Amino acid sequence: MKKNRIHPANKKSIASQRDKILKWLLKGKTITTLKAITQFGCTRLSARISEIRDMGHVIVTKWVKTRNKQVVKEYSLIQYQPEA
């Protein structure tokens, strides 16, 4: 039985998508699956969010209603400010 393997070329693409999404979130912006597809060509946003969480970042998930009355997940990053 073959194990699921990621082609080396796709590993770079995944890392690139993850890095772009993280930079986006670090700017204080939110992201949905549609935004991830159109902005970054990422069709597996939940996987990239999981990877970013595994890196130690705190990502909040919120259900939001779109203009078309669809309910989708919106992700945002919680940035902690060091206490003075």
Residue 3 domain-assigned? Answer: no
- Give the tens place of pLDDT for each residue, 22-75: 999 999 999 999 999 999 999 999 999 999 999 999 999 999 999 999 999 999
Residue 63 domain-assigned? Answer: yes
Partnered with residue 74 across adjacent β-strands are: 62
* Interatomic CA distance for residues 84 and 79, integer angstroms: 15
Residue 15 is part of a domain; what is its CATH number? Answer: 1.10.10.10
Number of domains, the chain? 1
Who contacts 26 (Cβ-Cβ below 8 Å, separation ≥6)?
77, 79
Torsion sign over Cα 4, 7, 8, 9: negative
- Give the tens place of pLDDT for each residue, 9-21: 555 688 899 999 9
Q: What pTM, to 2 d.p., does this model score? A: 0.80
